[in-house]
Structure 1
Amino acid sequence: MTTLTSPPWGLRHNITPCFGARLVQEGNRLHYLGDRAGLYGTFSSMQLRALDRSFPAFIRQMEAALRSGELDPHKAHTLRREKDGLICEADTRGSCSYVYVSVYPAPQPA
């Protein structure tokens, strides 16, 4: 499945395929808004299923990182997690109200 969304959401990468989103931060909770997200490039059906399975877990991990201070709403710092063959990168960019997210397939070992 190929989708191009304008403007691009999430952290900017030259990696495709990539899922990007801007999550709304409310304290240590994150809210996903579908109109603030997009798919870039072509994901296989297997990668899309992995994204559907993994994204809620990535959100829980980001919320835990907000609670622990590892992800700080006042400072830009990229958090990286891996699950089900996908890499999730998240950063507040010091915005105090958003968390920018990009999820893409992990590189396959040679």
Structure 2
Amino acid sequence: MTSSISPQWGLRYDITPCFGARLVQERNRLHYLGDRAGLYGKFSPELLRELDHSFPIFISLMEAALRSSELDPHNSRSISLEREGLVCEADTRGSCGYVYITIYPASPPI
């Protein structure tokens, strides 16, 4: 039996709008796969631009957190990063190969 329900990616589902993803971890590098990500809720064009601009910077910060062991592939520990009005929560969930993220506005959109 197949299901037509799409999975929600990321850590949090109680905040909208948000972007959620499961990144593939290879040592201290992170790889984004578009089919393991999604936008949830309504994003303004400005917020989408901010997300597009900040996403690579968040990736670099999470890779630095892997190098410093702030993010640990063997143990679940959430970190929170903030940049240009966006918050990025990240956690490996002890998965030994994935980093789950949710990015959302630091303050609710008006």
Q: Which deviations, in whole Å up to 9, do the C-alpha atoms of 1:15-40 show, x marking residues without a partner?
A: 00000000000000000000000000
Once residues 99 and 91 of structure 2 are traced to their aligned partners in structure 1, the CA distance between those partners, rounded to angstroms, is 6
Q: Which amino acid aligns with 1:40?
A: Y
Once residues 41 and 7 of structure 1 are traced to their aligned partners in structure 2, the CA distance between those partners, rounded to angstroms, is 15
* Alignment match, 2:104: 104
Greater Rg over alpha carbons, structure: 2
Alignment of 1:53-92 (within 5 A): 53-92=53-92
Structure 1 vs Structure 2 CA RMSD: 1.1
Q: Which amino acid aligns with 1:16?
A: T
TM-score under structure 2 length normalisation = 0.92
Deviation at 1:12, TM superposition (A): 2.5
Once residues 47 and 59 of structure 1 are traced to their aligned partners in structure 2, the CA distance between those partners, rounded to angstroms, is 18
% same residue = 70
Any stretches of 5+ residues in structure 2 without a counterpart? none
Any stretches of 5+ residues in structure 1 without a counterpart? none
Once residues 43 and 76 of structure 2 are traced to their aligned partners in structure 1, the CA distance between those partners, rounded to angstroms, is 29
Runs of 4+ in 1 over 4 A off after TM superposition: none
Alignment of 1:1-110 (within 5 A): 6-107=6-107
Q: Which deviations, in whole Å up to 9, do the C-alpha atoms of 1:66-85 show, x marking residues without a partner?
A: 00000000110111000111
Q: Which amino acid aligns with 2:87?
A: I
Q: How many residues align?
A: 104
